[in-house]
Structure formats: structure tokens, C-alpha cells
């Protein structure tokens, strides 16, 4: 591999490398990309004829558009380094690479080389030495990756912003975040302990924060998504918004579970009976659901837009001061309110998300009568919910 050109992308604060490589070198470089990035899209079956033609073209030395990759901000060199050192950084961190543009070309190249290795080819050495160009954004942050994915794939098969966010942040499944554990659904586990969350639920909540929309619509409209990112460009500077969101929500859950001593549901403590199973059987189960996470995300996003809070870190600071009127009575009241929503709602999940959006708006808005008071926020949010839905 050889760097042919370097240019700095000021929009996403990242160094762009134009690299000349070969089919054989890219085959080696790309193996861990597909192995490690579980959420990268699979092969597009409907385009099999097109990619079969591309395989033939690659054998003949066809020049294909550059494949665009990203290497996260952790790999950014701290000072000016030689080109050879930049290549070493890329190779040594190949398991952290993400494909921004060229996933299907990558599948095709890998299929071609696998076929040659399995069945043999007299032109093997010539084919593996065919030239390719790749671009690598080195030292790019997560939001910059999302921005480039959206702008580079405008002509491709539509992919929702939620799914692209899953791809970008999937590495945290393996590493965790500040002691917080993220669990994939396919692992067959459910979050049962403090600091454990379903990865997809957290992604839904974070998407609600980005979109300022508690309904978490899987938008594929490129311009709408880019407009959302434009609003967040200043807010994201020098920090990872996903980590900010996740640690703030985790702080809230730990605070409310601690204040309530993780109250367990006991119907004998209720004034009356619920229509069915409670929303959650203890405080942790209540606040470990996606409806709550999306309500939290959209509410915090709106409060930031309306200057109710400065940023997510400001919300995390406020969490230290939240309190109950009476933990048992307040949690019971919450379960009763959520049971009422279940009875009257046309779309239960959406109405629950709306309720928690209103709950967090009331809880963290300094102009609210329920500011930092959980019990009052539960009641005020339900009154607002009734006004909006009836």
C-alpha cells in the first residue's frame, strides 16, 4: 500500500488518505472488517448479476471507484508522522475499520479471491496484483462517520439512520462504556443488573436524541438526516455524544433505583388493581425499557434546543438532585398511570414513549413545577398526556 495524496477534511475534522493498493492487499485488510462489524449490511442479493459482472471486470483490470473506509478517532496520530507510519496505523487497526462506501464491492473482491484460492487460476498472481484505490478517513469521530456515510451513500439502497448508528457504535458491545455493559439480542441474554442495557434499546434512545423525536422513526431520507447532523455539529465537538447520552441515562437509572431501593411490585400496596401485568416488576425493570430510553433521549434533545439545559452533561449533573416525594407511592402512581395508558392507547408503545418524553421534560425543565421531583413529574406528565391525546 502506498499513500498517493493526503488532504484534511475540515467539515468532519479528519485526515483523508488516498491510498493505492492491490486486490490481494485489500483482501487481507478487509477480512476483519466484515468479521468484526456485525451490523454491516449483508450482500445485496438482488444485484448478483451486476456484481458477477464486476468480478469479471476486476479479473481484466477494470478501474473501480475508490472504496471509502474510516478509522476512529482513537487512532489519530498525536503529531506529524511519515506515510509509512500512517500505513502501519491502518494495518495494525484493521479490525477497527468501518466501510463508509463500497461494502458490496468489498464482498465482490472477497468472493473473487476466495474463488481463485479454492479453484485455482493461472492468472492468480496477476489478478491479486491489480491496482485498487481506497480512501481512509483516519482519526474521525463517530458523528463524522455517520455524516460521511449519509453523504457518500445517497445513490445506494436506502439504510435507516438507526441502522447506520448501530454499525458505528457496535464496537461498544465488545468494550463496554465506563463499566456499562451493552447486550446484543442474539446473545440470548437480557439486562438484569444495574449498568446493563439492550444495545438496540440504547440505540433507539440515542436515535431519538439525535432526531428529537420519541417515535424513533427509521428515516432513510438523506436530507432530513443531514439536517439533524448539522444541528448537532457544534454540540458534538470534542466529545462522543453516544457516550454522553448513555452515561447520563445510566446515571439516572442508578439514581432512581438507589433512591427507591429498587422497589419490587406488590399489588397489595396499590389503591385498586391493574388491568394486567405491571409495566415493570421493580424499579430497574421499569426504567430499563426502550420506551423510557426514547422518551429520555427526545426530551433531553428538545430541552437543549429550547435552552432549558446546556447539554447532556448538564442533565447528568442535575440527576444528583432528583428526589421522590415518597418512593413507594410515586412508583405505584407511575404504574397506575402506565396501566391507564395501556387501556386507552391505540398504539401502546407510542403512547408510552410520549408519556416518558413528557415525564423527562417536566423533571429536567427548571421552569416546570415538577423540576427534579419524580413524583410531581409523574403526575404532571400524565396530565399533559391526557391533554394531548384526548
- The residue ranges of every structural domain in the chain are 2-140, 183-389
Asked whether residue 372 carries a pLDDT value surpassing 50, the answer given is yes
State pTM to two decimals: 0.74
pLDDT by residue (tens digit) across 162-180?
A: 777 787 788 788 889 999 9
Asked whether residue 45 carries a pLDDT value surpassing 70, the answer given is no
Rounded Cα–Cα distance for residues 96 and 63 (Å): 26
328 Cα distance to chain centroid = 34
Backbone angles phi, psi at 140, to 5 degrees: -95, 145
Beta strands in the chain (DSSP E): 2-9, 14-22, 67-72, 98-101, 131-140, 181-183, 196-198
pLDDT at 54: 86
Do residues 295 and 359 make contact, with C-beta atoms less than 8 angstroms apart? yes
Q: How confident is the model at residue 25 (pLDDT cuts 50, 70, 90)?
A: very high
pLDDT at 37: 56
Asked whether residue 218 carries a pLDDT value surpassing 50, the answer given is yes
Mean pLDDT of the residues in the chain: 86
Rounded Cα–Cα distance for residues 195 and 214 (Å): 23
Q: How confident is the model at residue 222 (pLDDT cuts 50, 70, 90)?
A: very low
Strand 2-9 and strand 14-22: the pairing is antiparallel
Rounded mean pLDDT of 312-339?
95
Nearest partner of 101 among 49, 154, 36, 63, judged by Cα: 154
User: Within 13 Å of residue 208, how many CA atoms lie on the same side as its CB?
Assistant: 29
What is residue 373's three-state secondary structure? strand
Residue 131: beta bridge partners?
Answer: 22
Rounded mean pLDDT of 346-358?
96
Please give the residue that has the higher pLDDT: either 35 or 329: 329
Asked whether residue 340 carries a pLDDT value surpassing 90, the answer given is yes
Alpha helices in the chain (DSSP H): 23-36, 48-60, 83-92, 103-119, 124-128, 142-152, 161-169, 171-175, 199-211, 222-232, 241-260, 283-286, 290-305, 312-319, 327-344, 348-364, 374-389
Rounded mean pLDDT of 361-390?
96
pLDDT at 77: 65
Q: How confident is the model at residue 46 (pLDDT cuts 50, 70, 90)?
A: very low
Rounded mean pLDDT of 362-376?
97
Asked whether residue 43 carries a pLDDT value surpassing 90, the answer given is no
| Residue 374 DSSP code | H
pLDDT by residue (tens digit) across 82-110?
A: 999 999 999 988 888 888 888 889 999 99
Asked whether residue 370 carries a pLDDT value surpassing 80, the answer given is yes
Do residues 13 and 147 make contact, with C-beta atoms less than 8 angstroms apart? no
Q: How confident is the model at residue 361 (pLDDT cuts 50, 70, 90)?
A: very high
pLDDT at 187: 61
Q: For 120-154, give one letter per residue: b (16+ CB within 10 A) or e.
A: ebeeeeebbebebbbbbbbbbbbbbbbbbbbbebe
Rounded Cα–Cα distance for residues 143 and 185 (Å): 24
pLDDT at 226: 53
Asked whether residue 371 carries a pLDDT value surpassing 70, the answer given is yes
How far the first Cα of the chain sits from its last, in Å, is 64
Percent of the chain predicted with pLDDT > 90: 56
pLDDT at 198: 94
Which of 24-28, 81-85, 148-152, 340-344 shows the lowest mean pLDDT across its residues?
A: 148-152
pLDDT at 47: 52
Amino acid at each position: 500500500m502506498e499513500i498517493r495524496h493526503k488532504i484534511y477534511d475540515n467539515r468532519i475534522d479528519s485526515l483523508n488518505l488516498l491510498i493505492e493498493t492491490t486486490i490481494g492487499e485489500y483482501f487481507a485488510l478487509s477480512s476483519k472488517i466484515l468479521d468484526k462489524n456485525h451490523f454491516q449490511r449483508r450482500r445485496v442479493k438482488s444485484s448478483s448479476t451486476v456484481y458477477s459482472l464486476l468480478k469479471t471486470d476486476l479479473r481484466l483490470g477494470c478501474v473501480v471507484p475508490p472504496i471509502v473506509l474510516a478509522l476512529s478517532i482513537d487512532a489519530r496520530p498525536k503529531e506529524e508522522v511519515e506515510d509509512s507510519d500512517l500505513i502501519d496505523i491502518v494495518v495494525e487497526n484493521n479490525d477497527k475499520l468501518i466501510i463508509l462506501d463500497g461494502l458490496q464491492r468489498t464482498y465482490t473482491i472477497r468472493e473473487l479471491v476466495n474463488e481463485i484460492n479454492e479453484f485455482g487460476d493461472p492468472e492468480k498472481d496477476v489478478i491479486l496484483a491489480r491496482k485498487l484505490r481506497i480512501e481512509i478517513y483516519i482519526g474521525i469521530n463517530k458523528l463524522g462517520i455517520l455524516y460521511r456515510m449519509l453523504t457518500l451513500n445517497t445513490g445506494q439502497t436506502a439504510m435507516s439512520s438507526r441502522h447506520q448508528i448501530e454499525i458505528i457504535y457496535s464496537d461498544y458491545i465488545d468494550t463496554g462504556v465506563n463499566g456499562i455493559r451493552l447486550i446484543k439480542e442474539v446473545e440470548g441474554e437480557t439486562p438484569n443488573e444495574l449498568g446493563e442495557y439492550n444495545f438496540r434499546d440504547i440505540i433507539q434512545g440515542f436515535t431519538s436524541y439525535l432526531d428529537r423525536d420519541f417515535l424513533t422513526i427509521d428515516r432513510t431520507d438523506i436530507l432530513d438526516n443531514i439536517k439533524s447532523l448539522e444541528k448537532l455539529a457544534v454540540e458534538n465537538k470534542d466529545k462522543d455524544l453516544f457516550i454522553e447520552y448513555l452515561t447520563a441515562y445510566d446515571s439516572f437509572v442508578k439514581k432512581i433505583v438507589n433512591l427507591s431501593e429498587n422497589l419490587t411490585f406488590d399489588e397489595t400496596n396499590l389503591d385498586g388493581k391493574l388491568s394486567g401485568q405491571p409495566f415493570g416488576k421493580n424499579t430497574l425493570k421499569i426504567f430499563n425499557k426502550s420506551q423510557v430510553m426514547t422518551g429520555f433521549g427526545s426530551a433531553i434533545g428538545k430541552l437543549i434546543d429550547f435552552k432549558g439545559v446546556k447539554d447532556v452533561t448538564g442533565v447528568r449533573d442535575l440527576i444528583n438532585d432528583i428526589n421522590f416525594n415518597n418512593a413507594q407511592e410515586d412508583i405505584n402512581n407511575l404504574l397506575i398511570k402506565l396501566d391507564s395508558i395501556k387501556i386507552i392507547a391505540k398504539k401502546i408503545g407510542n403512547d408510552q414513549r410520549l408519556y416518558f418524553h413528557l415525564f423527562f421534560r417536566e423533571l429536567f425543565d427548571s421552569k416546570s413545577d415538577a423540576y427534579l421531583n419524580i413524583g410531581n413529574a409523574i403526575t404532571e406528565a400524565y396530565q399533559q398526556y391526557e391533554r394531548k391525546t384526548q
